Chains A and B, each alone.
Chain A
Amino acid sequence: MTLDEIQSQLAAMSNAGDPTFSKFANDINQIVEQAKVGQLSNADVAEILRDAQSQLAILEDMSQLSFKETLNTCITGLIMIAGAV
């Protein structure tokens, strides 16, 4: 995959789908643009992109936790209803 192909995929993602991931794709594309004009070294860009992967992992972990929180609330609600009946 060439850099241009990656950037056009990111641009397509920026304009579609979930707003969180659209912003994410847009931010990454901007970082690549800044690297192209020499504002960041390749090593620095690699570090920032690794951070982007960590951010995705955090989003996934928190989404799992959020799901469990909702489930916990539902179960607690059911227990309360069961106790009241």
Chain B
Amino acid sequence: MKRLIVLLLPLLSSCAVYDAITMTGFDPNEYRIITEIRVDANHYKDACANPLIAQTNAVAMAYKTDLFEIYSEQIPGNDDGYKAAKSLNEIAQGLTRRYDIPPVPPLFCKLKYSSIESSAKVIQHTLGNRPR
């Protein structure tokens, strides 16, 4: 078996293997935030027809995706996670910006939340599989 480890040593120099070894483990706070984002997006979708509630929800969502991005940013060995958090935040910030120029079509609001929800689901699945 030791011979096998010795044979595997050259592999350790490759970036993918190094990244895999040094990658960050499961973080319950990170997982919690992305789960909340997914759940909120699913519920906020139903309030898109009411402009006042929808705008408040959009601000709340943008706050949470911002929190997720900033939280992910300083976790060591989390480059891919941070990039995904940044992209997700950009989708949510776009919805808040859109409410500065009313009226916002309910369909636009629903499509935005669908994008946020499906992206959050993809991220949540991957974060949930992180090594514990």
Closest to B90 in A: A54
Set of chain B residues within 8 Å of A61, measured between Cβ atoms:
80-81, 83-84, 87
| A/B pair count, beta carbons within 8 Å | 101
Set of chain A residues within 8 Å of B59, measured between Cβ atoms:
none
Q: A40-B105, A65-B81, A82-B1 are in contact. List 5 more A-B contacts (CB 8 A).
A: A62-B84, A62-B125, A71-B17, A72-B21, A76-B131
Closest to B130 in A: A69
Q: Are A85 and B1 in contact (CB under 8 A)?
A: yes
Question: With A and B bound together, what is the CA distance between A68 and B91 in angstroms?
Answer: 26
Question: With A and B bound together, what is the CA distance between A41 and B5 in angstroms?
Answer: 60
Query: A64-B80, A66-B129 are contacts. A59–B122 as well, Cβ < 8 Å?
Result: yes
Query: A40-B107, A85-B1 are contacts. A71–B16 as well, Cβ < 8 Å?
Result: yes
B54 at the interface (CB under 8 A from A): no
Set of chain A residues within 8 Å of B122, measured between Cβ atoms:
55, 58-59, 62
A57 at the interface (CB under 8 A from B): yes
24 of the cross-chain contacts (CB-CB < 8 Å) are A31-B111, A39-B105, A40-B108, A48-B111, A50-B94, A51-B91, A54-B87, A54-B91, A55-B87, A55-B119, A57-B84, A57-B87, A61-B84, A62-B80, A65-B81, A66-B126, A68-B23, A69-B23, A72-B23, A73-B131, A78-B8, A82-B1, A82-B2, A82-B5
Q: Are B5 and A48 in contact (CB under 8 A)?
A: no
> What's the minimum C-beta distance from A28 to chain B, rounded to whole angstroms?
11
Question: With A and B bound together, what is the CA distance between A51 and B90 in angstroms?
Answer: 8
Question: With A and B bound together, what is the CA distance between A18 and B86 in angstroms?
Answer: 26
Chain B interface residue count, CB cutoff 8 Å, equals: 37
Interface size class of A (residues with CB under 8 A): 20 to 34
Question: With A and B bound together, what is the CA distance between A58 and B5 in angstroms?
Answer: 34
Question: With A and B bound together, what is the CA distance between A53 and B106 in angstroms?
Answer: 21
Closest to A47 in B: B94
Set of chain A residues within 8 Å of B81, measured between Cβ atoms:
61, 65
B57-82 Cβ-contact flags toward A at 8 Å (1 or 0)? 00000000000000000000000110
